[in-house]
Amino acid sequence: MLNGLKQFATSYSNIIRKFSKNLRICSHQLESDFFRDRFQDDDDEDFTTLAIAVKGVKMGLDSLAFLVEETTISIAGDYIEPIESFTQNYQVLSSEYLERARESFELHTDNLAATKNARDRYFDLKEEAEKQEVNIEEAMLSHDRGLISIDKVQRISKKGI
């Protein structure tokens, strides 16, 4: 959207600049066409009513061309340059933020995988400990019944360590 606005402002500025240039050309052409063959003496040129009117029209066209040129400068300064600056800053900052987000996402993904591995290892150890506890209890019951010796109970309990 900003690029479209920038293109519009640039095109509009170019059109106004061409219009101003054509006004100046028209002004000079009017003066040269009018004065080319009509007056041989400079004094006659300055004092005829028609010459004064043509010079007034020429000055009006030149003034209008100047105002139009000032408008193009204003458009460039008020619209085009700020949009260009904003889009350049936006592109730089957005690429930096995207890179940071990618790094954060990768770190999060790695931490998530490490947490899952630690949880899985914890549950595996817990399951082994529960099995060992059951084995020790069975060995103690067997010893109480006189089925196995205390040495065998100790070996079973050390097996889990």
Please give the DSSP secondary-structure letter assigned to residue 79. I
pLDDT digits (tens, 9 = 90+) for 115-135: 999 999 999 999 998 999 888
Residue 46: per-residue pLDDT: 56
The whole-model pTM stands at: 0.47
Cβ neighbours of 139 (radius 10 Å): 20
Domain borders along the chain are: 2-111, 122-159
Q: pLDDT at residue 34 above 80? A: no
| Predicted confidence (pLDDT) per residue in 47-103, tens digit | 678 778 888 888 888 888 888 888 888 887 888 888 888 888 988 999 999 999 999
CA 5 to chain centre: 16
Give the amino acid at 9. Answer: A
Cα–Cα distance measured from residue 63 to residue 57, given in angstroms and rounded to the nearest whole number = 10
Over pLDDT 70: what percentage of the chain?
A: 91
Positive or negative torsion for Cα 54, 57, 61, 63: positive
